[in-house]
Amino acid sequence: MNIRVIQQTDALAFAQLCKEIDESGFMLYEPGERVIDLEKEEKRIENFLNDDRSIILVAEDDEKLIGYIVAIGGNVKRTRHSAYLVLGVSENYRGRGVASRLFENLFAWAKANAFTRLELSVIKDNIKAVNLYRKMGFIIEGEKVHSLIIDGKPVNEYYLYKLLK
C-alpha cells in the first residue's frame, strides 16, 4: 500500500472511489446522489494542489485508489491553525490499516504545516469510525443534534478534535 498526494490524473478514479464510499450510507452524499463530472473533479484537485493549507492524500494498492483523507485548512488568521478532515476507505479494504496509515501521513503533513488542531464529524451511529477516530487520538467535543436526515429520520453527529503538539 502506498500513501501519496493526489494528482490531477487521479480525477476519475478518485470520483469513482468517492461514489463507491457514498454507498456505505455514512457519508454526506446519499448513495447514487454524487454525479461524476471529470472536468469539475480535475479543477477541484487542482485547487487543492494549489492551496498550501489543504491536501488530499490517497491510499493505493496495485495502482488502485482504495482510500483518501482530505484536510481543508483555515485560510484566515483565526483559523489557520485548524483543518477539517474527511476520511473514506473502500469497503473491501476496511479493517486493514488503511485509515491509520492515511491519518499518520496526514498528521505528519499537518505538523510540518503548523496546524495545531484537527477536527472532523461522524454520524453518531457509525461506531467503527468513532472507535477508529478515538484510537487515532481524537476526542468527542460535542454532539450536533438532528444534523442530517437519513432515510427520512433525523441523525446526530459527533464533532471530534485532536490537538497536535
- Cα distances from 14 to residues 42, 57, 121, 126, in angstroms, run 10, 11, 21, 23
Q: Write down the pLDDT at residue 90.
A: 94
How far apart are alpha carbons 116 and 43 in whole angstroms?
28
Q: Write down the pLDDT at residue 153.
A: 94
Q: Which fold has domain 2-163?
A: Aminopeptidase (3.40.630)
Q: Write down the pLDDT at residue 32.
A: 67
pTM of the model: 0.91
Residue with cell 487515532: 136
Q: Write down the pLDDT at residue 37.
A: 85
Are the beta carbons of 55 and 29 closer than 8 angstroms?
no
Q: Write down the pLDDT at residue 134.
A: 98
Residue with cell 441523525: 155
pLDDT under 50: residue ranges of the chain = none
SS3 sequence of the chain: CEEEECCHHHHHHHHHHHHHHHCCCCCCCCCCCCCCCHHHHHHHHHHHHCCCCEEEEEEEECCEEEEEEEEEECCCHHHCCEEEEEEEECHHHCCCCHHHHHHHHHHHHHHHCCCCEEEEEEECCCHHHHHHHHHCCCEEEEEEEEEEEECCEEEEEEEEEEECC
Give 50's contacts (C-beta < 8 A, 6+ positions apart). none
How far apart are alpha carbons 20 and 29 in whole angstroms?
11
Q: Write down the pLDDT at residue 75.
A: 87
Q: Per-domain residue ranges for the chain?
A: 2-163
Q: Write down the pLDDT at residue 103.
A: 98
